[in-house]
Amino acid sequence: KNQVEQSPQSLIILEGKNCTLQCNYTVSPFSNLRWYKQDTGRGPVSLTIMTFSENTKSNGRYTATLDADTKQSSLHITASQLSDSASYICVVSLISNFGNEKLTFGTGTRLTIIP
Amino acid sequence: EAQVTQNPRYLITVTGKKLTVTCSQNMNHEYMSWYRQDPGLGLRQIYYSMNVEVTDKGDVPEGYKVSRKEKRNFPLILESPSPNQTSLYFCASSAGGSLSGYTFGSGTRLTVV
């Protein structure tokens, strides 16, 4: 069964500190892996997209890594800001037998930044 | 501004009363999809559409209908809502292709009593 598991479920850190969120997946065949940021009550917003051959991708203070052999990804946030408080969702994509892309969503990590 | 617009943002209705949640995108995207988000679960796909007049079931289609008569619009129809359809709903669109980004709407919080 295709699954995406994220850890921790929730995390609280002080403003200015770094943190790393984890994602393990069993989706196959793998196409790409995405990280999204979701503010409370809003739709998810894309942070990074990585294919099988990419090990790392950065977007400002966000850096995602991918190890396709172990089927693990991480999202590292540097110098956290209060606006980083949100849920971070790992999404793994496969291409179905019908040629359409199918996304499998993790349940997210709820990150809270405190002053 | 490129966006996906959902309406309404909030809706409270009674069991069995038909309702429609609208979704419109201004990016000329071919692919559109509906998801529901429930506590403790990842987003789950309800229906998707790869182009006009082309729709298909996602993972949790029971109790929902969709239509795609125009490229920009993809309404979600609940013919007879039940309390287990209380959820947060998101519409998304994409240009298609495996590395295309998905743009999500702001969500519709539906409560069925």
pLDDT digits (tens, 9 = 90+) for A44-68: 999 999 998 899 999 999 999 999 9
For residue A96, pLDDT over 80 is answered with no
Q: Which two tokens stand for residue B37?
A: 């988000």
* Interface test with chain A among B30, B37, B38, B46, by most A beta carbons within 10 Å: B37
> Which residue from A71, A85, A77 is spatially nearest to A4, judged by alpha carbons?
A71
In this prediction, residue A18 carries a pLDDT of: 98
Dist. CA B70–CA B74, nearest whole Å = 8
Indicate the pLDDT class of residue B29, thresholds 50, 70 and 90.
very high
Tell me which chain A residues have a C-beta less than 8 angstroms from the C-beta of B35.
105
Dist. CA B12–CA B24, nearest whole Å = 21
In this prediction, residue A95 carries a pLDDT of: 78
Average pLDDT over residues B23-34: 95
Average pLDDT over residues A5-32: 94
* pLDDT (tens digit per residue) in B68-113: 999 999 999 999 999 999 999 999 999 876 677 899 999 999 999 9
Q: Are B77 and B20 in contact (CB under 8 A)?
A: yes
Q: Are B104 and A44 in contact (CB under 8 A)?
A: yes
In this prediction, residue A94 carries a pLDDT of: 84
Tell me which chain B residues have a C-beta less than 8 angstroms from the C-beta of A31.
98
Q: Which two tokens stand for residue B20?
A: 């429609």
> Which residue from B49, B19, B18, B20 is spatially nearest to B34, judged by alpha carbons?
B49
Residue-wise over B40-67: b if at least 16 C-beta within 10 A, else e? eebbbbbbbbbeeeebeebebbeebebe
* pLDDT (tens digit per residue) in B31-77: 999 999 999 898 999 999 999 999 999 999 999 999 999 999 999 99
In this prediction, residue A63 carries a pLDDT of: 98
Residue of B nearest to A103 (CA): B45
For residue A97, pLDDT over 80 is answered with no
For residue A40, pLDDT over 80 is answered with yes
For residue A15, pLDDT over 80 is answered with yes
Q: Is B24 helix (H, G, I), strand (E, B) or coil?
A: strand
